[in-house]
């Protein structure tokens, strides 16, 4: 897959799919084109048996993504049409539906839809000069790329409210402290670290990974009893799959 304008999609022989958000002059802001291209590439990642792990990163050295392209705000003919487009191409739902492990390698700003995209991934590695925030309230909006729901699943509720309601930015060490990101590395170690983690994941059984991700993400919306039941069902399903193969 290639020929995209606003993302770069690359696949390595060892099973890693790299998605690079590629609008460095606009700090990799998510415009409609990038959104469409991501919406096209994610199903390919889901379906391609050669892809075991996906890593999302930003081009350039300033940002993972500075969020939705604010120069496009107000260009949709009507609020109703805007809603229809979002409904038809639910990019964030598409991200969350990928059953393979996904890693966000965050170098620099991850704001609004940028950090929200990273929160749709399973693991977030950030460079020590990164900054995160949900500036939507500043723009008269609620987080609409899933952030109001994904962030409370990672970060303690009170801290989420502060981040959303003040629209303040936080730095990498605070991001690590509150559990928004998994680890901080120096800028030059960002990509090698993401790659090392991806390779470690790939060394594990592909079906086990898929079922484990399923258990972790679906279980979050269940009671403990329901979650334990889900875990049992998935481990039995994995066992049956093994026996059958």
Give me the residues that bind ligand CO8 (CB under 6 A), please.
26-27, 29-30, 35, 66-71, 109, 111-113, 135-136, 139, 144-145
E runs forming strands in the chain: 7-11, 16-21, 53-58, 63-65, 102-106, 109-111, 123-127, 131-133, 170-171, 183-185
Q: Is 72 a catalytic residue?
A: no
Q: Rounded to an integer, what distance in angstroms lies between the CA atom of residue 233 and that of residue 110?
A: 37
| Count of positions (residues) in the chain | 245
Catalytic residue among 37, 84, 88, 136: 136
Question: Residue 182 CB, nearest distance to ligand CO8 (Å)?
Answer: 22
Are the C-beta atoms of residues 51 and 97 closer than 8 Å to each other? no
Between 26 and 212, name the residue whose CB sits nearer to ligand CO8.
26
Question: Residue 2 CB, nearest distance to ligand CO8 (Å)?
Answer: 23
Q: Is 136 a catalytic residue?
A: yes
- When CB distances to ligand CO8 are compared, the closest residue is 112
Question: Residue 243 CB, nearest distance to ligand CO8 (Å)?
Answer: 44
Are the C-beta atoms of residues 39 and 48 closer than 8 Å to each other? no
DSSP state of 125: E
Question: Residue 108 CB, nearest distance to ligand CO8 (Å)?
Answer: 8
Between 22 and 193, name the residue whose CB sits nearer to ligand CO8.
22
Q: Using H for helix, E for strand and C for coil, what is the string for 20-64?
A: EECCHHHCCCECHHHHHHHHHHHHHHHHCCCCCEEEEEECCCCEE
Q: Rounded to an integer, what distance in angstroms lies between the CA atom of residue 155 and that of residue 164?
A: 12
Catalytic residue among 5, 37, 84, 116: 116
Between 71 and 166, name the residue whose CB sits nearer to ligand CO8.
71
Between 80 and 224, name the residue whose CB sits nearer to ligand CO8.
80
Which residues are tagged catalytic? 116, 136
């Amino acid at each position: 897959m290639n020929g995209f304008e606003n993302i770069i999609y690359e696949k390595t022989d060892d099973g890693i799919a790299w998605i690079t958000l590629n609008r460095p002059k606009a700090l990799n802001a998510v415009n409609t084109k990038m959104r469409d291209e991501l919406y096209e590439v994610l199903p390919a990642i889901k379906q391609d048996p050669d892809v075991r792990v996906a890593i999302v990163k930003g081009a350039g050295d300033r940002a993972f993504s500075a969020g939705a392209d604010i120069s496009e705000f107000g260009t949709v003919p009507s609020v109703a049409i805007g809603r229809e487009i979002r409904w038809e191409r639910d990019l964030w739902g598409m991200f969350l539906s990928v059953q393979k492990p996904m890693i966000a390698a965050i170098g620099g700003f991850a704001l609004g839809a940028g950090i929200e995209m990273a929160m749709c991934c399973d693991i977030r590695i950030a460079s020590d000069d990164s900054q995160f925030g949900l500036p939507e309230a500043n723009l008269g909006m609620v987080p609409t790329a899933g952030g109001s729901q994904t962030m409370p699943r990672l970060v303690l509720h009170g801290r989420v409210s502060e981040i959303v309601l003040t629209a303040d930015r936080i730095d990498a060490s605070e991001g690590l402290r509150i559990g928004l990101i998994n680890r901080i590395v120096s800028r030059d170690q960002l990509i090698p670290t993401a790659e090392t983690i991806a390779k470690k994941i790939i060394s594990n059984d592909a079906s086990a990974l898929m079922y484990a991700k399923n258990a972790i993400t679906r279980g979050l919306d269940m009671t403990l009893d329901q979650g334990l039941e889900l875990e049992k069902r998935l481990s039995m399903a994995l066992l049956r799959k093994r026996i059958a193969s």
